[in-house]
């Protein structure tokens, strides 16, 4: 069955919601799934007008998903290939090399903006003209980021104190990605600092880096409360 939907494959809930909101602002509807397996199952009964997939998924990479979709399509000759768009925070040249030969229609690097989405999808889709938005990231998404960050801090601190650096790097990577997508540069930078240092099995303490991250989250909390106070008066 053909569908007017764009399938978004992204395992981070905040990133999923932001992509959906950006697509909706451009006049496109989307369906959201969290894993490559869910995407393949969805594609068995629905043919979207495009698929946007993150590179890092829980069960496979976006390139592996792309490869499996192309292999699956060989069993349905005569149908055009589904337009697949890869997005990631990884270097562009690496993604281009990984996806070579798999008919990847576009590669978008994080943080993803509406202009990038518009440029990637314009050759594939007929869409209404929409004026550029000057609005900031919605507060509900920032609140989700804040809640996510505060949930991750205890585990991150414990991992650092017990010198479980690979676990700490994974936690910091997840927070870095979410913050970067929402353009919260300080949180993203401090999380990236912890991730990079943790992956090198540091000898010195990361207390200062952790403190910077905690301060940045506290600052976001104050900003949200200040804006909500203004809106409620």
Find the length of the chain.
233
Q: How many CB atoms lie within 10 A of CB 168?
A: 25
Of residues 35 and 74, more confidence is placed in 35
Half-sphere exposure at residue 200, Cβ-oriented, CA atoms within 13 angstroms: 11
Mean pLDDT of 79-94: 86
Task: Enter the pTM of the model.
Answer: 0.62
Neighbours of 55 (CB within 10 A): 21
pLDDT at 233: 43
In this prediction, residue 73 carries a pLDDT of 85
Q: Is the pLDDT of residue 64 over 90?
A: yes
Report the distance separating Cα 22 and Cα 231, nearest Å: 23
Which stretches does DSSP call E strand in the chain? 6-9, 30-33, 50-54, 84-88, 104-109
Across 166-190, average pLDDT = 87
End-to-end CA distance of the chain: 50
Q: What is the mean pLDDT of residues 188-214?
A: 88
* pLDDT band for position 3 (cuts 50, 70, 90): low
pLDDT of residue 53: 94
**Average pLDDT in the chain:** 84
CB 88 within 8 A of CB 55: yes
pLDDT (average), residues 75-98 = 84
For the ranges 25-29, 34-38, 129-133, the lowest mean pLDDT is seen at 129-133
CA dist., res. 93 & res. 85, Å (int): 15
Q: Which domains does the chain possess? A: 6-121 (3.40.50.2300), 139-232 (1.20.120)
Other CB atoms closer than 10 Å to residue 160's CB: what's the count?
23
Assign 85 a pLDDT band (cuts: 50, 70, 90).
very high
Give pLDDT, residue 34: 94
What percentage of the chain has pLDDT greater than the value 70? 89
What are the distances in angstroms from CA 65 to CA 27, 38, 99, 153?
26, 11, 11, 32
What are the tokens at 58? Answer: 């829980």
- What integer is the mean pLDDT of 138-149? 86
What does the pLDDT average to over 62-67? Answer: 92
């Amino acid at each position: 069955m053909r569908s007017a939907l764009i399938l978004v494959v992204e395992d981070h809930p905040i990133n999923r919601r932001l992509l959906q909101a950006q697509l909706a602002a451009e006049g496109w509807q989307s369906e959201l799934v969290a894993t490559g397996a869910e995407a393949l199952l969805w594609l068995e009964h629905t043919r979207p007008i495009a698929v946007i997939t993150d590179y890092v998924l829980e069960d496979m990479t976006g390139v592996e998903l792309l490869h499996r979709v192309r292999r699956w399509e060989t069993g349905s000759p005569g149908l055009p290939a589904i337009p697949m768009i890869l997005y990631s925070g990884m270097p562009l040249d690496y993604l281009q090399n990984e996806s070579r030969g798999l008919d990847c229609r576009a590669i978008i690097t994080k943080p993803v903006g509406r202009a990038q989405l518009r440029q990637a999808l314009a050759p594939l889709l007929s869409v209404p003209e929409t004026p550029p938005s000057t609005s900031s990231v919605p507060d509900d998404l920032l609140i989700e980021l804040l809640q996510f960050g505060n949930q991750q801090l205890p585990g991150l601190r414990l991992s650092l104190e017990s010198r479980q650096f690979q676990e700490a790097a994974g936690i910091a990577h997840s927070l870095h990605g979410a913050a970067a997508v929402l353009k919260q540069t300080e949180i993203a930078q401090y999380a990236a600092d912890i991730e990079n240092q943790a992956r090198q099995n540091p000898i010195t303490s990361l207390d200062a880096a952790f403190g910077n991250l905690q301060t940045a989250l506290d600052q976001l909390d104050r900003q949200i409360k200040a804006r909500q106070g203004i809106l409620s008066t």
